[in-house]
A and B are shown apart, each in its own frame.
Chain A
Amino acid sequence: MKCEGKVWKFGDDIDTDLIIPARFLNVSDEKSLAENCFADVRPGFAQNIGPGDIIVAGRNFGCGSSREHAPIAIKGVGISMVIAKSFARIFYRNAFNIGLPIVESEAAVDVISEGDWVSVDLEAGTLKTENDSESFVIQAIPAFMREIIRAGGLVDYVKQRGLK
């Protein structure tokens, strides 16, 4: 699986209230949530995403609330993946469960800037910056999580294994 696009760079501790403020949680459909993604801190974010664009962020991305609406909004807006130094644990599970690819790479995040072009090959575990100027080996996704992704998310994973 490959993701390629322009980078939107964020800092550390990007919480779920920033990703989708609670006042927009009176609905749960992907389109409405996407329209208000990062509405307060990056007005116009949702309207300026190009196909495949990538979020690159610092430590503890997605901290705070358990709202699955956060990864849904990010996926819905057209972001193909999130690369961060680390992810908060509930966001991490939610992203896999809804099929939003996320990877951790401390080194890559340090050298990537806003507006850079980045391509990631999740199977090969590689990340390349514009014109292949730099390349990084990205952390392998745990085998158990890979099975969930391969199934197409948690719902299909559970369906394939059969309900008890």
Chain B
Amino acid sequence: MPMTITEKILAAHAGADSVMPGEIIQVDVDLALANDITAPLAIEVFYKLGTQEVFHKDKVALVPDHFVPNKDIASAEQAKTMRLFARKHQITHYFEPGESGIEHVILPEKGLVVPGDLVMGADSHTCTYGALGAFATGVGSTDLGVVMATGQTWLKVPPTIKLVYEGTAGPWVGGKDLILRALGLLGVDGAAYKALEFSGPTIKDLSMDQRFTMANMAIEAGAKNGIFEPDQITKDYAEPRSSRKQVCFSSDPDAVYERTVHIDVNSLEPQIALPHSPDHVRPLSKVDPVRLDQVFIGSCTNGRMEDLRAAADILKGRSVAGDTRLIVIPGSPDIYREAVRDGIIETLLDGGAVIGPPCCGPCLGGHMGVLAAGEKALSTTNRNFVGRMGHPTSEIYLSNPSVAAASAVLGRIGGPGEL
């Protein structure tokens, strides 16, 4: 029976020859992930189950990144709950600040997710790992607690929407624009309960960093997972990072899709998501030159090496506008180190940026750049819901890192072409 890559990975983890959309299956999980916000509840569930040990101490990843370094006593207590659990159960993949970073940046970096894996994470952006040709989806803490105890969960096999990107992207257009364009077409529930498969000639040349950005935002269309078929670019990234068996699945030519959406990128401009929804997308030229109080470059969406490099390319020899603040947060210590070594951090500092420690930062309005009433921000993050980054009357626009850096220099929304 012909299957999509998503169906093949699910079948392999259900011990079945094939699966069909709509079928409810029990699957074995390769990696269970939680962070400092979702782990405490999952740990509570784990103990309620009466379990003594996690299903596999190498297959649980606990990453403090949301409110770490801790912003207050309450968040410190939550991080402590996770830390003590990790020690007690000798969790191999628990990381303290210094080694830790944003969960969805460091797990692929450390080779903890490889092609063909099935990952369940108590964080909605767990779908990021689909960039590696893995099935990865977000769940709540109760589901995760059960996975930590049993190594298994249930899933309903999703139908797949295939996105076919065609053409060559122009200057200042990258993975962020490709996914924002798709969100504009699909809407915030356009792929609800479904798999999003990214394909087409444009994708073949995309770097892993760009692919992570795209898979990361599949959830913004309501999708269960976003996925790329692994190719040489995937292998070059994943093979040196892990000695685990890597299985590169691909969709059969006659696999059945719920629908196929073609996206022409030849004439695609940088895309901006306007307040207050990631599907409220316009091309940059159709967006008002909104004055900005803050620009943020970072997050599990755009906190990787290429993103920082793109920002530094714009900032080189330029300065952030007087009335605008620029916050840059490298997604991991490795990225931070490389950015220091390559002079990227110096360029950003010289341009007037403040650099934060690897963590989620202001993306979810927790700390390190919370917005005041009425403030307007441009951010390379994934969500611009009401109050997401601070006060409910603040406004968030989403863009790629080049546009964000250019806008920080201009003090308003604008493109690198205007500099």
Is B138 an interface residue when CB atoms closer than 8 A count as contact? yes
Are the C-beta atoms of A88 and B222 separated by less than 8 Å? yes
Query: For the complex, what is the distance from the CA of A25 to the CA of B388, rounded to whole Å?
Result: 13
Is chain B's interface secondary structure helix, strand, loop, or mixed overall?
loop
CB interface residues, A 1-35, toward B, < 8 Å: 13, 15, 17-18, 21-23, 25-28
Are the C-beta atoms of A155 and B188 separated by less than 8 Å? no
Are the C-beta atoms of A98 and B383 separated by less than 8 Å? no
What residues of A have a CB within 8 angstroms of the CB of B60 in the complex?
A: none
Least CB distance from A53 to B in Å reads 23
Closest to B158 in A: A89
Query: For the complex, what is the distance from the CA of A68 to the CA of B124, rounded to whole Å?
Result: 11
In the complex, how many residues of chain B place their beta carbon closer than 8 angstroms to a beta carbon of chain A?
53
Is B387 an interface residue when CB atoms closer than 8 A count as contact? yes
Least CB distance from A18 to B in Å reads 6
Contact of A41 among B41, B123, B192, B392 (CB under 8 A): B392
Query: For the complex, what is the distance from the CA of A10 to the CA of B247, rounded to whole Å?
Result: 45
With known contacts A66-B138, A163-B150, A86–B192 Cβ distance under 8 A: yes
Query: For the complex, what is the distance from the CA of A94 to the CA of B143, rounded to whole Å?
Result: 8
Closest to A27 in B: B74
Are the C-beta atoms of A68 and B138 separated by less than 8 Å? no
Least CB distance from B310 to A in Å reads 27
What residues of B have a CB within 8 angstroms of the CB of A142 in the complex?
A: 24
With known contacts A63-B222, A90-B140, A163-B149, A18–B387 Cβ distance under 8 A: yes
Closest to B35 in A: A66
Are the C-beta atoms of A68 and B140 separated by less than 8 Å? yes
Least CB distance from A160 to B in Å reads 11
Contact with B along A57-101 (1 / 0, CB 8 A): 001100111111101100000000000001011100110011000
Query: For the complex, what is the distance from the CA of A62 to the CA of B122, rounded to whole Å?
Result: 15
Contact of B386 among A17, A89, A94, A97 (CB under 8 A): A17
Is B99 an interface residue when CB atoms closer than 8 A count as contact? no
Contact of B189 among A88, A158, A164 (CB under 8 A): A88
Contact with A along B244-256 (1 / 0, CB 8 A): 0000000000000
Are the C-beta atoms of A68 and B142 separated by less than 8 Å? yes
Are the C-beta atoms of A26 and B386 separated by less than 8 Å? no
With known contacts A17-B386, A26-B74, A88-B192, A68–B222 Cβ distance under 8 A: no
Query: For the complex, what is the distance from the CA of A153 to the CA of B140, rounded to whole Å?
Result: 13
Least CB distance from B38 to A in Å reads 7
What residues of B have a CB within 8 angstroms of the CB of A40 in the complex?
A: 386-387, 392
Is A154 an interface residue when CB atoms closer than 8 A count as contact? yes
Are the C-beta atoms of A60 and B192 separated by less than 8 Å? yes
Least CB distance from A116 to B in Å reads 25
Are the C-beta atoms of B366 and A89 separated by less than 8 Å? no
Are the C-beta atoms of A21 and B387 separated by less than 8 Å? yes
Q: Which of B50, B74, B189, B370 has the most CB of A within 10 A?
A: B189
Query: For the complex, what is the distance from the CA of A28 to the CA of B370, rounded to whole Å?
Result: 21
What residues of B have a CB within 8 angstroms of the CB of A69 in the complex?
A: 37, 41
Least CB distance from A119 to B in Å reads 28
Query: For the complex, what is the distance from the CA of A67 to the CA of B66, rounded to whole Å?
Result: 12
Is B277 an interface residue when CB atoms closer than 8 A count as contact? yes
CB interface residues, B 182-235, toward A, < 8 Å: 188-189, 192-193, 222, 224
Are the C-beta atoms of A164 and B141 separated by less than 8 Å? no
Are the C-beta atoms of A158 and B385 separated by less than 8 Å? no
Are the C-beta atoms of A164 and B152 separated by less than 8 Å? yes
Query: For the complex, what is the distance from the CA of A15 to the CA of B222, rounded to whole Å?
Result: 11
Is B48 an interface residue when CB atoms closer than 8 A count as contact? yes
Q: Which of B44, B71, B145, B364 has the most CB of A within 10 A?
A: B364
Are the C-beta atoms of A17 and B146 separated by less than 8 Å? no
Q: What 10 pairs between A and B have smallest CB-CB spacing? A: A94-B140, A68-B140, A26-B74, A97-B142, A40-B392, A60-B189, A22-B364, A26-B75, A66-B124, A66-B138
* Contacts from A to B (Cβ < 8 Å): 13, 15, 17-18, 21-23, 25-28, 40-41, 59-60, 63-69, 71-72, 86, 88-90, 93-94, 97-98, 142, 144, 153-155, 158-159, 163-164
* Contacts from B to A (Cβ < 8 Å): 24, 37-38, 40-41, 44-45, 48-51, 66-67, 71-72, 74-75, 78, 121-124, 126, 138-143, 145-146, 149-152, 154, 188-189, 192-193, 222, 224, 277, 364-366, 370, 383, 385-388, 392
